[in-house]
Chains A and B, each alone.
Chain A
């Protein structure tokens, strides 16, 4: 099973709302990633968790708050977002985050900020 699941598939939120995106994998992977993808653009890395510890934060604004409660689960908490944050948010996982590891992507959550 090489599946990464993401919920919800679609999310519409106002600028004052608080919401969370959820990502789950059961492949025993120890590295998990959040990417942001704007329309017709490549994915851009936001965060990397390795063995449940945040190892990379690509200078993401604090209105995005990642959380890794356990090795199978990755959350992205959203608060006071801006309309320009509307995008497809992709989660991925890989075995250990080492060089050459294949990253397996989920289907994404399409976020619209009004």
Chain B
């Protein structure tokens, strides 16, 4: 079975500072990794995903993530955050095999950007 662990439940940062949200995955087979963002009282929006190929993935709103197979990590980064980036961020894994339709989400990281 696949799983993801988001190491920080909350990350407070100041506006224009860089941020890294950490995600580690566990899987014995090929994995497909996603980062979603959820703004208050809204649904989830895809930021980026890794399927194969280049390990550096660029997404929307200036976010990027790096797939690291040896460290089983898929950390999300942004060089300079804005107040509007305040939201809940979910890392998710979709694995091949018996549960190939399923997205398994991490517990989420609440990013709070302060002025």
Q: Which among A31, A55, A107, A110 has the greatest number of chain B C-beta atoms within 10 A?
A: A107
Residue contact B44 to A99, C-beta cutoff 8 Å: no
CB<8 Å pairs between A and B, sample of 24: A40-B108, A42-B90, A42-B105, A42-B107, A42-B108, A43-B90, A43-B105, A45-B102, A50-B101, A55-B101, A56-B101, A56-B102, A90-B44, A92-B43, A98-B100, A99-B96, A99-B100, A100-B94, A102-B49, A103-B103, A105-B43, A105-B44, A105-B45, A108-B43
Mark A92-114 against chain B: 1 for CB-CB distance below 8 A, else 0. Answer: 10000111101111111010000
Interface check A74, CB cutoff 8 A: no
Residue contact A106 to B51, C-beta cutoff 8 Å: no
Bound-state CA distance A86–B65 (Å) is 34
Interface size on A (CB < 8 Å)?
A: 25
Bound-state CA distance A31–B101 (Å) is 9
Bound-state CA distance A100–B57 (Å) is 14
| B16-53, CB < 8 A from A | 32, 34, 36, 41-46, 49, 51
User: How large, as a class, is the contact surface on chain B?
Assistant: 20 to 34
Bound-state CA distance A105–B105 (Å) is 14
Cβ–Cβ < 8 Å partners of B42 in chain A: 107-108
Bound-state CA distance A97–B45 (Å) is 17
Interface check A4, CB cutoff 8 A: yes
Cβ–Cβ < 8 Å partners of B49 in chain A: 100, 102
Residue contact A99 to B94, C-beta cutoff 8 Å: yes
